[in-house]
């Protein structure tokens, strides 16, 4: 295992999703990993740690997930791209510092290998039940970016994209994997370093006494500096002004926090990453993400072979949600079918965007998404035969006709 000097392991490899994620992080320039052990995310840390000496990356195993993400935020301010890796219960513990990361506008990546919850759940079985948590889990108002990879290759690609958007928007980015993708071994093609787009951190380089850590550019994103450069700046998790000083007034809340939301919402078109398959003439569109989309795409293939007009919209980014595109499709299609490894999360976003113009069928499926092609196909068939449009979410049960 020998990579080039930038840490990119160019070539074709057989990697698990977790290993591909670690390679993606190294290729993106991540040089700090703060972690706390939890399955099924082990191989991300293991691979990163094994490769760390060669690429000059540092890491520390902290005493819990709370401190793991805290250390990542601290490390990010030294100029090192930083990430942490966790799963369900650990992700819950990270909510505190997800909020701090948003408030301090600290770039970092959180890899979340979802497993069955709540509580202790069904450890290491895959699920997609933390997607709403990734968006709403920390207190207060904020916006977040989250990717949902569906293959080992996407674990590599999306990890790089997650780092890029995290630097571009100065926001923690979540990579919402699941135990299925994490353990899946597949062929991963890693391009050469010059073929990989890396978004550089946007630094302030003006005079030392004129730096305002939260003075926003036109795109609402402030410029950053590293510690130790003599700027002697202050940042606080409290509501603050451009200087980073706490200001305890409602006006400042508007001044400080509204841009945190706007810097994502106003750039949704640039951030949203969706992959459409045969939606042009589709009567039914399957909206899916992560490992469920593997089954969804297979269902589309089989449906088309039967002559049914079924398409797929795969969410590469689950957050922000592609509101505009889904409501546009709602005008065109009879129904959406939303298969998820949970009891209904993203389906609520879909339903919200149909404005009663299309049926929304929700398909709950268990812990092995890729085996549910038949169910998805049956649900899509049923949806294409529906003559009237019902409000609300229609739950599709396995074997129901």
Partner 1 sequence: MATQRINTNSEIHPMENLLRMDRMPHIWCPTCGIGLAVTAFASALEKANIDPNNVSIVSGIGCTGRVAGYVKVDSFHTTHGRPIAFATGIKVASPKTKVVVFSGDGDLIAIGGNHFIHAARRNIDMLVVCVNNFIYAMTGGQVAPTTPLAAYATTSPYGCVEPPFNIPYLADSSGAVYVARYTALHIRRLTNALTEALNKKGFSVVEVISPCGMYYSRINRLGDGLEMMKFYHDNVEIRHGEDTKNLEIGFQTKIICGKFVDRERPSYMERYNQWLSEVRDSGKRPKGKKGA
Beta strands 310-315 and 122-126, pairing class: unpaired
Q: Is 32 in the site for partner 1 (CB under 8 A)?
A: yes
The residue assigned the tokens 């799963």 is: 87
**From CA 303, how far away is CA 298, in angstroms rounded?**
9
Q: Which residue of 10, 37, 39, 80 would you call a contact of partner 1, by CB under 8 A?
A: 80
Specify the pairing of strand 359-364 against strand 393-396: parallel
| 223 counts as binding partner 1 under rule CB under 8 A | no
**Near partner 1 by CB under 8 A, which window of 139-147, 222-230, 280-288, 304-312?**
222-230
Distance in Å, CB of 100 to partner 1, minimum: 5
Q: Which stretch binds partner 1 (CB under 8 A): 68-76, 110-118, 150-158, 338-346?
A: 68-76
CA dihedral 122, 123, 126, 130 (to 10 degrees): 90
CA angle 76–272–383, rounded 5-degree value: 135
Residues 130-189 contacting partner 1, CB under 8 A: none
Residue of 118, 140, 206, 230 that binds partner 1 (CB under 8 A) = 230
Counting contacts by CB under 8 A, is residue 77 touching partner 1? yes
Per-residue DSSP letter, 216:
B
Taking the CA atoms of 234, 235, 237 and 243 in sequence, report the sign of the dihedral they define. positive
| DSSP reduced 3-state for 267 | coil
Distance CA 284, CA 138 (A): 35
Using the contact rule CB under 8 A, the part of the chain among 93-101, 117-125, 176-184, 345-353 near partner 1 is 93-101
Q: Under a CB-based contact definition with an 8 Å cutoff, are residues 107 and 201 in contact? A: yes
Cβ neighbours around 219 below 10 Å, total: 15
Q: Is 233 in the site for partner 1 (CB under 8 A)?
A: yes
Is the distance from CB of 102 to CB of 138 less than 8 angstroms? Answer: yes
Asked if residue 398 lies in contact with residue 382, where contact means CB atoms within 8 angstroms, the answer is: no
**CA 392, 117, 17 angle in degrees (round to 5)?**
100
CA angle 160, 17, 33 (to 5 degrees): 55
Q: Is 49 in the site for partner 1 (CB under 8 A)?
A: yes
Pick from 37, 74, 121, 137 the residue near partner 1 by CB under 8 A.
Answer: 74
Q: Which stretch binds partner 1 (CB under 8 A): 118-126, 177-185, 227-235, 295-303?
A: 227-235
Pick between residue 163 and residue 233 the one whose CB is nearest to partner 1: 233
Number of chain positions touching partner 1 (CB under 8 A): 53
By the rule CB under 8 A, 204 interacts with partner 1 = no
Rounded CA-CA distance 258/7 in Å is 38
Residue 10, interface with partner 1 (CB under 8 A)? Answer: no
**Which range touches partner 1 (CB under 8 A), out of 29-37, 127-135, 216-224, 320-328?**
29-37
Single residue of 55, 85, 91, 97 touching partner 1 by CB under 8 A: 97
Near partner 1 by CB under 8 A, which window of 94-102, 147-155, 190-198, 270-278? 94-102
Residues near partner 1 (CB under 8 A): 1, 13, 15, 19, 31-32, 34, 43, 46-47, 49-51, 53, 58-60, 62-64, 66-68, 70-80, 82, 96-97, 100, 104, 227-238, 245-246
């Amino acid at each position: 295992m020998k990579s080039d000097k930038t840490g990119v392991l160019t070539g074709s490899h057989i990697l698990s999703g977790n290993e591909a994620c670690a390679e993606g992080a190294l290729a993106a320039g991540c040089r700090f990993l703060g972690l706390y052990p939890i399955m099924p995310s082990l191989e991300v840390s293991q691979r990163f740690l094994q490769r760390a000496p060669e690429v000059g990356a540092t890491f520390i195993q902290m005493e819990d997930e709370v401190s793991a993400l805290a250390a990542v935020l601290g490390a990010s301010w030294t100029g090192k791209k930083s990430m942490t890796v966790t799963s369900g219960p650990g992700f819950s513990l990270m909510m505190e510092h997800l909020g701090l990361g948003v408030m301090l506008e600290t770039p970092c990546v959180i890899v979340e290998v979802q497993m069955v919850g709540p509580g202790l759940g069904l450890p290491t079985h895959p699920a997609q039940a933390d997607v709403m948590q990734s968006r709403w889990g920390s207190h207060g108002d904020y916006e977040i970016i989250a990717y949902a990879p569906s293959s080992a290759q996407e674990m590599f690609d999306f990890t790089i994209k997650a780092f890029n958007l995290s630097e571009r928007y100065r926001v923690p980015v979540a990579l919402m994997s699941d135990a299925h993708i994490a353990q899946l071994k597949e062929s991963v093609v890693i391009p050469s370093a010059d073929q990989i787009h890396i978004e550089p951190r946007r630094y302030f380089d003006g005079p030392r006494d004129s730096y305002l850590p939260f003075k926003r550019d036109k795109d609402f994103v402030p410029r950053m500096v590293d510690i130790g450069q003599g700027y002697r700046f202050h940042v606080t998790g409290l509501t603050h002004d451009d200087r980073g000083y706490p200001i305890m007034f409602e006006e400042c809340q508007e001044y400080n926090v509204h841009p945190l939301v706007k810097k994502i919402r106003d750039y949704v078109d640039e951030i949203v990453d969706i992959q459409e398959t045969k939606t042009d003439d589709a009567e039914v569109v399957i909206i899916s993400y992560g490992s469920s989309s593997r089954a969804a795409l297979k269902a589309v293939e089989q449906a088309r072979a039967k002559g049914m007009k079924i398409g797929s919209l795969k969410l590469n980014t689950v957050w922000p949600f592609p509101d505009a595109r889904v409501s546009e499709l709602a005008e065109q299609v009879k129904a959406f079918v939303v298969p998820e490894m949970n009891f209904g999360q993203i389906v609520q976003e879909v339903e919200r965007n149909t404005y009663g113009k299309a049926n929304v069928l929700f398909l709950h499926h268990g812990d092995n998404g890729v085996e549910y092609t038949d169910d998805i196909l049956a649900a899509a068939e049923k949806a294409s035969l529906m003559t009237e449009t019902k409000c609300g979410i229609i739950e599709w049960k396995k074997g129901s006709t």
